[in-house]
């Protein structure tokens, strides 16, 4: 059952179509569902984590027969090294994410992508957490795989507002140190900020062996700069504005934008991070379907 807090960001038909493709990690993870994620460990860790109800396909050697004798139900022992994939969703809530010319601005588009990925992950038995990063990390919920956790994630997504300057790079550095075990870290951001600082935080996450996914959120107008009349452009994060004739700066703007996109894309590829440019007039289903399919193809290779 979908909880009310998360349901406002989900489309049941989209979920049904995307659920056919599991979300898999490109790298070895500490814990897995058999057939979904590779693990760097053999056997079980000595540190007990929790019990889990038996599901068809689970390894019967991990059944706890003493618990069965008391409850007449099958439970598996889970150890710290055997828990499933952990995914931490990071939502940029800086002021520039409020920009949008379609039905959804960048932040609202990102919320729907994050909610859909979170729902799919929990349905396949993985753990999901959420961080909201504006000037600071205003919200940081650790990854859990309890379905009730979706309610909290949905409430946090609903409460996220685009405001203030970006603190994404520092938030990712903090996250890299906080997550002790290997995880998938999925970033939703327009990445407006110092590119070298951002790439440094990406490198920090990859150094800690996290599987980094970057969804670079941009509005179509930010890419094409279609303005023709004299306009006043206002910075959405700082008290700054610029009055200009767009036709006089369009060529230089496009040149700087392409240089920015190239630096980010090549930096991610160099770090073996998974980079996706997302234009918010695209359907988020097609963006996620391409992402999920690409993951499966990379696993098969």
Q: Is 137 helix (H, G, I), strand (E, B) or coil?
A: strand
Q: Is 39 helix (H, G, I), strand (E, B) or coil?
A: coil
Q: Return the pLDDT at 209.
A: 94
Q: Are residues 185 and 271 in the same domain?
A: yes
Q: Is 3 helix (H, G, I), strand (E, B) or coil?
A: coil
Total residues belonging to the chain: 301
pTM: 0.82
Token pair of 258, please?
């392409």
Place of tokens 């909201």: 132
**Distance in angstroms (rounded) separating the CA atoms of residues 179 and 86:** 10
pLDDT at 9 over 50: yes
Range(s) of the domain holding residue 172: 4-20+84-300
**Distance in angstroms (rounded) separating the CA atoms of residues 183 and 23:** 13
Q: Are residues 92 and 187 in the same domain?
A: yes
C-alpha closest to that of 123 among 25, 13, 33, 56: 33
Bridge partners (DSSP) of residue 87 are 128, 184
- Terminal-to-terminal C-alpha distance of the chain: 35
Q: Are residues 112 and 233 in the same domain?
A: yes
Q: Is the dihedral of CA 170, 172, 176, 179 positive or negative?
A: positive
**Distance in angstroms (rounded) separating the CA atoms of residues 127 and 183:** 10
Torsion region of 225: left, alpha or beta (phi above 0 gives left; psi -120 to 50 gives alpha): left
Q: Are residues 57 and 152 in the same domain?
A: no
| R_g of the chain computed on alpha carbons | 21
Task: Over range 55-84, report the average pLDDT.
Answer: 75
Under the banding of pLDDT at 50, 70 and 90, the label for residue 50 is low
According to DSSP, the β-strands at 241-244 and 211-218 are: unpaired
Q: Is the dihedral of CA 32, 37, 40, 43 positive or negative?
A: positive
Q: Are residues 208 and 259 in the same domain?
A: yes
Query: Torsion angle, CA of 133/138/141/147, rounded to 10 degrees?
Result: -90
pLDDT in tens, 216-255: 999 999 999 999 999 999 988 888 888 999 999 999 999 9
DSSP 270-290: HTT-EEEEEETTS-HHHHHHH
Q: Are residues 53 and 157 in the same domain?
A: no
Q: Are residues 215 and 239 in the same domain?
A: yes
According to DSSP, the β-strands at 241-244 and 184-189 are: unpaired
Domain containing 166 — which CATH number? 3.40.50.410
Residue 36 and residue 22 in contact, taking contact as beta carbons nearer than 8 Å: yes
Task: Over range 208-217, report the average pLDDT.
Answer: 97
Under the banding of pLDDT at 50, 70 and 90, the label for residue 35 is very low
DSSP state of 27: S
pLDDT at 137 over 90: no
Q: Is 212 helix (H, G, I), strand (E, B) or coil?
A: strand
Task: Average the pLDDT over each of 19-28, 167-176, 180-189 and give the range with the smallest value.
Answer: 19-28
Query: How many domains, in total, are found in the chain?
Result: 2
Residues 6 or more apart in contact with residue 209 via CB below 8 angstroms: 27, 182
Q: Are residues 104 and 251 in the same domain?
A: yes
Task: Average the pLDDT over each of 81-95, 249-263, 277-291 and give the range with the smallest value.
Answer: 81-95
- Report yes or no on 29 lying in a domain: no
**Distance in angstroms (rounded) separating the CA atoms of residues 120 and 173:** 27
- Report yes or no on 233 lying in a domain: yes
pLDDT at 81 over 70: no
Q: Are residues 168 and 204 in the same domain?
A: yes
Strands (E), the chain: 48-53, 75-79, 86-92, 127-133, 137-144, 184-189, 211-218, 231-234, 241-244, 274-279
DSSP 234-257: E-SSSS-EEEE-HHHHHHHHHHHH
């Amino acid at each position: 059952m979908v909880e009310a807090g998360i349901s406002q960001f989900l489309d049941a038909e989209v979920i049904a179509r995307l659920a056919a493709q599991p979300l898999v990690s490109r790298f070895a993870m500490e814990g897995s569902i058999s057939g979904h994620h590779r693990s760097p460990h053999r056997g079980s860790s000595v540190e007990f984590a929790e019990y889990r109800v038996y599901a068809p396909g689970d390894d019967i050697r991990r059944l706890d027969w003493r618990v069965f004798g008391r409850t007449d139900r099958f439970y598996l022992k889970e150890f710290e090294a055997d828990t499933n994939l952990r995914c931490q969703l990071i939502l940029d809530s800086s002021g520039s994410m409020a920009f949008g010319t379609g039905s959804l601005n960048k932040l609202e588009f990102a919320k729907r992508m994050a909610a859909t990925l979170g729902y799919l992950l929990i349905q396949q038995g993985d753990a999901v957490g959420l961080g909201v990063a504006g000037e600071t990390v205003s919200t940081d919920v650790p990854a859990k795989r309890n379905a009730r956790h979706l309610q909290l994630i949905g409430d946090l997504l609903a409460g996220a507002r685009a405001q203030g300057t970006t603190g994404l790079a520092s938030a990712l550095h903090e996250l890299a140190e906080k997550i002790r075990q290997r995880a998938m870290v999925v970033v939703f951001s327009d990445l407006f900020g110092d590119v070298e600082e951002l790439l440094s935080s990406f490198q920090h996450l990859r150094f800690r062996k996290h599987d980094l996914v970057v969804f670079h959120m941009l509005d179509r107008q930010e890419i094409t700069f279609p303005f023709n009349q004299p306009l006043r452009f206002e910075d959405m994060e700082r008290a700054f504005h610029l009055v200009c004739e767009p036709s006089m700066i369009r060529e230089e703007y496009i040149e700087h934008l392409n240089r920015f996109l190239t630096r980010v894309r090549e930096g991610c590829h160099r770090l073996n991070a998974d980079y996706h440019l997302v234009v918010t007039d695209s359907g988020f289903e097609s963006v996620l379907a391409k992402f999920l399919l690409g993951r499966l193809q990379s696993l098969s290779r």
